[in-house]
Amino acid sequence: MSEPQTTKPVALEETSLFKNVREDMVQDLIDRFAERPLTGAEVVFKQGDPGDFLVVITSGQFDLIRNGATGEVHLAELGPGTILGHVSLVDGGPRSATLRAHDGGSVATLDRKTFSALWQDPSPDAVQLQMRVTQLVIEELRVANRKLAGLLDMPLAETPEAIQRLLGVTAHR
Amino acid sequence: MEHSKETLPTFLIDGPLLRGVAREDRLSFLESMNLQTYPPGDVLFFEGELGDELFLVVSGEVVILNHTEMDEPVELTRILAGDFFGEMALLSPAPRSASAIALSFTNALSMPRRQYLDRLEGGDPAAAALMHSIARRVCQRLRATDGRIDLIHDALHGASSEDLESRLVNLTGRDQTGPVGWRESLLQFFGGA
């Protein structure tokens, strides 16, 4: 996940995925996405599922949830502009979390076959998109590394609540 | 320093780094890199510096160190011949998150961001393959780091201040006293990936 978040709907072409892609080529890339409207608390993808599509949130608010040994953990509240699912598309691994709408909204999706074709496409605009996806995972790794480093530097006197704050999670019983 | 394919070991040319790329493109990419020798103790870069080169170790050994709040720097990993480092700054400029120091006489190839981007934008298949290798590696590390964070989270979930210490002891399998003790033991438990 990533990116400047708003509560207002965003157009797919305005998201950071197309940063550095030439304007006249953006439309060609956008045409490969499918718009998926959501109803109620619909699940966009489920933890453990094969990661077979990329998601860009275009409207609505969403919860990113992970099921661990101690139950459901709320990882983040996400809004329009957020890009998800790129890690699974790059490494072929399963979904690491569940994405669920608060109450409706919409996402733009790019299926694995189309993503894989773009990933291998040597044209300059496809390469810009590959670079953007790679930069997203690098930025996410930096955030995760800082979280872990911060956690390892915690003094013993800190409370579990503080650890949870540091981890950026709110635990639900 | 001048170098040619004669000085490049086969494991670099045929290694997994540029897998799927035609041999001539692999050679062209590697030969355009800058070869340098670093004596033991030489610093390739310091934590916090704004460097943007990728390094590829040809021979020797490099240690990656992190300065935490603890007095002693923490060894994160060692890079041996055939492996690369500095790849995150190459693709997404930011201060170096750790220092890199030669442990023995080390030959390393390097390529700065500008040169890399010129090759990538010029349609070099080796530059694109390298980006894909880096993306896969970063994804693996991201999953591993998230897993470690989850592990700590699960271990500490719902703990009161009183039983936090015993949970940490369970987590690390060591009896620790004092703040430095648990940090050290967590670092040993999770560190060195």
Span A51-62, mean pLDDT?
96
Contact at CB, A124 and B121, closer than 8 angstroms: yes
Whether chain B has a CB inside 8 Å of the CB on A148: the answer is: yes
**Which has the closest alpha carbon to A41: A99, A109, A104?**
A104
Predicted local confidence at residue A38, as pLDDT:
97
Mean pLDDT in chain A? Answer: 85
Q: Which domain holds residue B146?
A: 138-193
**Six token digits for residue A47:** 């933890």
Residues of B in contact with A16 (CB under 8 A): none
- Residue B132 counted as domain residue: no
Q: Side by side, which strands form the sheet with B43-45?
A: B43-45, B99-102, B61-66, B74-80
Put simply, the chain B residues between 54 and 83 with a CB less than 8 A from any chain A CB are 66, 68-69
Q: In this structure, what CATH number is given to the domain that contains residue B61? A: 2.60.120.10
The secondary structure element, H or E, covering residue B167 is helix B161-172
Same domain, B98 and B165: no
Put simply, the chain B residues between 127 and 146 with a CB less than 8 A from any chain A CB are 128, 131-132, 134-136, 138-143, 145-146
Predicted local confidence at residue A170, as pLDDT:
46
Minimum-distance CB partner of B149 among A127, A140, A144? A144
Same domain, B88 and B146: no
Same domain, B8 and B85: yes
Contact at CB, B128 and A122, closer than 8 angstroms: yes
B49: left (phi over 0), alpha (psi -120 to 50) or beta: beta
Number of domains in chain B: 2
pLDDT string in tens for chain B (193-residue length): 556 545 788 888 888 888 889 999 999 999 999 999 999 999 999 999 998 999 999 999 999 998 765 556 778 889 999 999 999 999 999 999 889 999 999 999 999 999 999 999 999 999 999 999 999 999 999 998 888 887 777 776 666 555 666 666 665 555 545 545 555 555 555 543 3
Minimum-distance CB partner of A134 among B134, B141, B182? B134
Q: Is B3 helix (H, G, I), strand (E, B) or coil?
A: coil
Contact at CB, A156 and B66, closer than 8 angstroms: no
Same domain, B84 and B158: no
**Six token digits for residue A123:** 């044209």
| Alpha-carbon gap: A112 to the closest alpha carbon of chain B (Å) | 16
- Residue B125 counted as domain residue: no
Domains along the sequence of chain A with CATH: 12-167 (2.60.120.10)
Nearest-angstrom CA–CA distance, B115 and B132: 17
Nearest-angstrom CA–CA distance, A57 and B140: 24
Predicted local confidence at residue A167, as pLDDT:
54
Return the higher-pLDDT residue of B108 and A69.
Answer: B108
- Residue B11 counted as domain residue: yes
Which ipTM value was assigned to this complex?
0.83
